[in-house]
Amino acid sequence: MSDKGEYQRDLNYIPDRITADGRDGWPVEPGRYRLIVARACPWANRAVIVRRLLGLEPVLSMGIAGPVHDERSWSFDLDPDGRDPVLGIERLQEAFFKRDPDYPRGITVPAFVDVPSGQVVTNDFAQMTLDMSTEWTAYHRAGAPELYPEKLRDEIDDVAQKVFTDVNNAVYQCGFARSQEAYDHSYTKLFSRLDWLSERLADQRYLVGDTITEADVRLFTTLVRFDAVYHGHFKCNRQKLTELPVLWAYTRDLFQTPGFGDTIDFPQIKEHYYVVHKNVNPSGIVPLGPDVSGWLTPHDREQLGGRPFGDGTPPGPPVESERVPAL
């Protein structure tokens, strides 16, 4: 928290990477690593989507923590006996402490865990999805989209940084602000960027180029949570997403694209934010709304052209154990 009451995210994550050449000591190997996520978390949701789109399910297993955690860690309360069935741990904290018994920072998802040793490899959410696209190519499914094409990387990086600073993180800065000045600044920054995004997307289907890229994944996970939690819970209330015609249609377009909406669990999302953030919602009451049936209504964005998967194909249906409740 800054002197002015502005929420400041700790971006010091474990920097190790899983790479094709294993230069950090963690070579890409089928079955060796487990991706730990929580359906509620937008940062983890990115990794879930990218893994689905690239078809890495057969070589990279996924553990799903429950939506509610305490100050110690995310826990595996959704699993039988409250333990991850592969790692055998009750809390993600255990994997961090195996790596460093004195680990001093927050226990965050997503995280890659080395199954043989039980140690966390990295929780650097921004790099993890890029590496899934660029380092795991030998195991991408046939027809996997190119989410981080080399010729567009500078533009993707630029847009993604704007989205992170002014949207992904700004909603939290609104919600956790400790002064009117800090809240006003974050609110203005957020909606100015949403206006900019609306203008950018008014005549193009996707953020960069004519196909889905990493930039779209990063924006989607915030927008899909906007009306359910950020509008009310975090006071991001100039408009709802449903009142921003371009962004509402854009987000519905992605939601209805295989690999996006089929990763979203609205009940878990709401339970996490409204129960865990006691400083924002002391009662712990989880709202029944909003109505989510609109997510499946026509968006008409295909009129703008674009090819969601480029020369590739959509992913198949989620594996049975990873399905979310249908709307």
Return the active site residues. Answer: 41, 172
The contacts of residue 87 (CB under 8 Å, 6+ apart) are 34, 63, 94, 95, 113, 115, 118
Q: Say whether 74 counts as a known binding-site residue.
A: yes
C-alpha torsion 173→179→183→186, nearest 10? -60
The contacts of residue 181 (CB under 8 Å, 6+ apart) are 4, 5
Cα distance between the two ends of the chain: 38
Helices 214-223, 42-54: axis angle to 10 degrees equals 140
Q: Rounded to the nearest 5°, which phi and psi values hold at 120?
A: -70, 140
Residue of 167, 145, 164, 166 lying closest to 156 (CA atoms): 164
Pair 23, 129: CB distance under 8 Å: no
Q: Which residue has the tokens 């800090």?
A: 182
Distance of alpha carbon 269 from alpha carbon 162, whole angstroms? 24
Furthest C-alpha separation in the chain: 54
Distance of alpha carbon 73 from alpha carbon 289, whole angstroms? 28
Distance of alpha carbon 65 from alpha carbon 82, whole angstroms? 10
Query: What is the secondary structure of 12-58 as a DSSP string?
Result: -------BTT-TTS-B--TTTEEEEEETT-HHHHHHHHHHHHHT-TT
Pair 133, 54: CB distance under 8 Å: yes
Binding site for glutathione: what residues are annotated? 74
Binding site: what residues are annotated? 74
